Amino acid sequence: MFDNFPLWPQRASTMAGNVDALYIFLLMVSGLMTLLISVCVVFFAAKFRHRPGVQAEPIEGSTPLELTWSIIPMGVFLVIFSWGAVVFFQERTPPRDATEVYVVAKQWMWKLEHAEGQREINELHVPVGRDVKMIMTSQDAIHSFYVPAFRIKQDVLPGRYTVAWFRATKPGTYHLFCAEYCGTQHSGMIGSVVVMEPAQYEVWMSGGSTGPLSASGEKVFAELGCATCHRPDGQGRGPNLQGLFGKTVQLEDGRTVTADENYIRESILDPGAKVLKGFKPVMPTFQGIVSEEQLNALVAYVKSLSSTRPGNAMAAGSTSPPAKASAQRSQVQ
C-alpha cells in the first residue's frame, strides 16, 4: 500500500514500514478529528441558529459527555505513545552483531570508514539484508545524518559519538542528506547510500582496503606510545585494555560507567574525566594530537581487544573481520 504514492519516499529498510504505519495512523486520527469537528461546527451552526421565536437554552455541564471526551482521547493518545515508544526503541537499539561504519561529518562532506578499512566520501556502500551500525561524530558544526528511504535521521555532534543503524531491504541508490543547518554549503552536503546484493558487495569490499580499521588503530596506538602504560600484562601505569570494551567499570570517584565508544573517546581526549578505580590521572590529553579518523581507529582497536564482540575471541582462520584483526595482532606481537 502507498508504495507508489508520490508523497512518500521509497521504502528501503526494515524500519521504513513501521515508521510509515505509525505516521499513517497519526494522519488518520488527525483527519478523522478534523472531519468530526468541522461537521459538528456546521451542523450546530445550522441547527441552533438564531430564529424569531426560538430561545437557546444553556446547559450546565454533563458528566457522561465530559467522561466520553476525556477517556476516548486518552486511550487514543496512549496508543500513539506506546506505538511510538516501540518504534523509537527499535530505531535506537542497534543489533549487537551489526557491521560497523565510522562516520565523520565536516563542513561540508561525509567521510565514512568501514570497520574493514574501506574509506568513502559522500558515498556509503552496504549489502542488502545486513544490519549496519553507524558510529558518528563531527569535526566542526552539528550535522544530521538523514536517509529518507531508510527513515533514519540522527544528529551528528562534535565532541562525542552518536549512533544510528539500519538494515537495507532493496538494492539501489538512496539519498543521504544533512538535515541540520551547518553553514553556507549545508544544502550541498549530500551523498548517497548504495545498497548492493551481497555477492556484488563482496567484490566491492575486496578492492581498495588499507586493512581493517582496528589495525590502523593499532598502528596509531604504537606510534603514540600508548602501550608503554596500557600494557597487556596489567603491570602498566594505565589500565590493561584487553577485554575492557563493553564492560561496566568502576571509577576512582565511585561512579560506574560502561566502557563504550564514547567512554573510550572521552578517555583519550580528556583522560582526567573518568579515571578507572586504582589508577592515577597521569595520562596526558590527546586533544588536538589525534584526528577524528585516528580517534575512530583507536576506538575500533580497543574494541577489537575485547571478547564481547562476536567473532573476536575466535581462533585465527575465521573469516569474520574482528578475528582477522586479532590474527594480525598476534602476528605483530
Binders of ligand CUA among residues 135 to 154 (CB under 6 A) are 143
Minimum distance from residue 217 beta carbon to ligand CUA (Å): 26
Position among 12, 163, 189, 283 found at the interface with ligand CUA (CB under 6 A): 189
- By rule CB under 6 A, what count of residues binds ligand CUA? 9
If one asks whether residue 104 binds ligand CUA (CB under 6 A), the answer comes out as: no
Scanning 9-17, 182-190, 235-243, 293-301 for contacts with ligand CUA by CB under 6 A, the matching segment is: 182-190
Report if residue 180 touches ligand CUA, rule: CB under 6 A.
yes
CB of 229 to ligand CUA, least distance (A): 37
Comparison of 146 and 166: residue with beta carbon closer to ligand CUA: 146
- Integer Cα distance of 1 and 24 in angstroms: 11
109 binds ligand CUA per the rule CB under 6 A: no
How many Å apart are CA 90 and CA 22, to the nearest integer? Answer: 13
Considering the complex, what minimum distance in angstroms separates the CB of residue 106 from ligand CUA? 8
Neighbours of 131 (CB within 10 A): 17
Looking at residue 103, its amino acid is V
Other beta carbons within 10 angstroms of residue 96's beta carbon come to 11
- C-beta of 109: minimal distance to ligand CUA in Å? 9
Min dist. Cβ of residue 189 to ligand CUA (A):
4
Minimum CB distance to ligand CUA, residue 101 (Å): 17
> According to the binding rule CB under 6 A, does residue 186 interact with ligand CUA?
yes
Q: How many residues does the chain have?
A: 333
Side chain identity, residue 79: V
Omega before 108 cis (within 30°)?
Answer: yes
Contacts of residues 289-296 at CB distance under 8 Å and 24 or more positions apart, as own/partner, are: 289/224, 290/220, 290/224, 292/104, 292/137, 292/139, 293/102, 293/104, 293/111, 293/113, 294/216, 294/217, 294/220, 295/137, 295/265, 295/268, 295/269, 296/102, 296/104, 296/113, 296/135, 296/137, 296/213, 296/217
Does 164 help bind ligand CUA (rule: CB under 6 A)?
no
Residue with cell 455541564: 61
Q: Which of 122-130, 147-155, 177-185, 322-330 is the region at the interface with ligand CUA (rule: CB under 6 A)? A: 177-185
Work out whether 178 is an interface residue with ligand CUA (CB under 6 A). yes
Interface ranges with ligand CUA (CB under 6 A): 105, 108, 143, 178, 180-182, 186, 189
